[in-house]
Amino acid sequence: MKKEQVVNCQFSAWYPIFKKHTIKSLILPLPQNVIDYLLDDGTLVVSGSDQNTQPRRTDNSDSEDQEDVQWSDDETTTTVTAPEFPEFTSKVLEAINSLGGRVFPKLNWSAPRDANWIALNSSLQCCSLADIFLLFKSSDFITHDLTQPFLQCSDQDSPDPVIKYELVLRKWSELIPGGEFRCFVKENKLIAISQRDYTQYYPHILTQEEQVSQAIQVFFSQNVQYNFLDEDFVFDVYRDSQGKVWLIDLNPFGEVTDSLLFTWDELTSGGEVAQHQQEGPTFRFTTSEVTVQPSPCLSYRIPRDFVDLSAGEDAYKLIDFLKLRKTQQEDSEEEEEEGNAPP
């Protein structure tokens, strides 16, 4: 996979070509100060200026109000205030409103799929810039886009192309995971199709195998083939309940893209899958409950208890947790007094 292929798969590169066949979206250039904020580990505070609902920390170092919570005993700690981006905030709000009030956010390539657990609704649905910032700042996928978009490219010696970072806002659409498929195109031929959410068994795919494969092949030959900037690429589609196929995303043909029920070796070697067959692409999907696997993004999560504690959803847990700490402390003090503490 070459750097050029990654460049071609940026949202703003493919969206104008396939606009008619995909979900309505708006692209906003990401100002440098917003990029800096997203990359700054120290500032977890999310600006709530579009809602004015977020609590702010203020500098109380020379204030007499000693009742304020002391967040850190490090006296050199500087004030942490939510950065404000008034102009960008109003552009984003305007864009969200024109898309119906609820959006699915992305950067040039990635959505923060690994961070959905942190949102109160456990979803990527956003209604404000604060919602978007919370997801973006919690996502390794977003950091990857910002810091190492060409990580797995084979032409590492060539200079990195200049990237203009963009915030992509897509109209929120309730997609049923069983209708999503990933399609692999090599030399402008559709060689393979995989169920996208391969961790689940969807009986309708098994019963409609032929219709699904046919619908995707027709969509490809009528709307996608020879229209993209590259001859090798991966595109994601959604087949809705009426059988209509929609384009969801374009991805580079290479290891950065999850090959789902195939291996990259199968897709690139001269083997059966990689050779376009007369009878059409190889279609793989999960055929029974037995093969159901845990969701791939689970490993990005932290224990639910921690989320509840931090989100303050379950105050009793926090109280129990503090009591437990106190009991443990008392126990260890007792042990020390008895002189039988382990070394």
Q: Which residues bind Mg ion (CB under 5 A)?
A: 249, 251
Query: Phi and psi of 67, rounded to 5°?
Result: -80, -15
Query: Phi and psi of 79, rounded to 5°?
Result: -60, 140
User: Would you say 212 and 157 are in contact if contact means Cβ atoms under 8 Å apart?
Assistant: no
With CB under 5 to 8 Å by kind, the binding choice for 172 among ligand ATP, Mg ion, none is ligand ATP
Nearer to ligand ATP, 37 or 141 (CB): 141
CA–CA distance, 11 with 107 (Å, rounded to integer): 8
Q: How far is the CB of 127 from ligand ATP (least distance, A)?
A: 13
Nearer to ligand ATP, 113 or 301 (CB): 113
CA–CA distance, 124 with 199 (Å, rounded to integer): 19
With CB under 5 to 8 Å by kind, the binding choice for 267 among Mg ion, ligand ATP, none is none
With CB under 5 to 8 Å by kind, the binding choice for 111 among Mg ion, ligand ATP, none is ligand ATP
With CB under 5 to 8 Å by kind, the binding choice for 146 among ligand ATP, Mg ion, none is none
What is the chain's length?
343
**Angle ∠(77,81,87) on CA atoms, nearest 5:** 145
Q: How far is the CB of 108 from ligand ATP (least distance, A)?
A: 10
Using only the alpha carbons of the chain, give its radius of gyration. 24
CA end-to-end distance (rounded Å), the chain = 55
Q: How far is the CB of 225 from Mg ion (least distance, A)?
A: 19
Which parts of this chain interact with ligand ATP (CB under 6 A)?
Answer: 23, 104, 106, 110-111, 113, 170-173, 175, 180, 196, 236, 248-249, 251, 258
Nearer to Mg ion, 231 or 258 (CB): 258
Three-state DSSP state, 314: coil
**107 half-sphere exposure, CB direction, 13 A CA radius:** 26
Q: How far is the CB of 253 from Mg ion (least distance, A)?
A: 12
Nearer to ligand ATP, 23 or 205 (CB): 23
Nearer to ligand ATP, 140 or 335 (CB): 140
Q: Which positions ≥6 away from 321 have C-beta within 8 Å?
A: 309
Q: How far is the CB of 126 from Mg ion (least distance, A)?
A: 18
Q: How far is the CB of 120 from Mg ion (least distance, A)?
A: 25
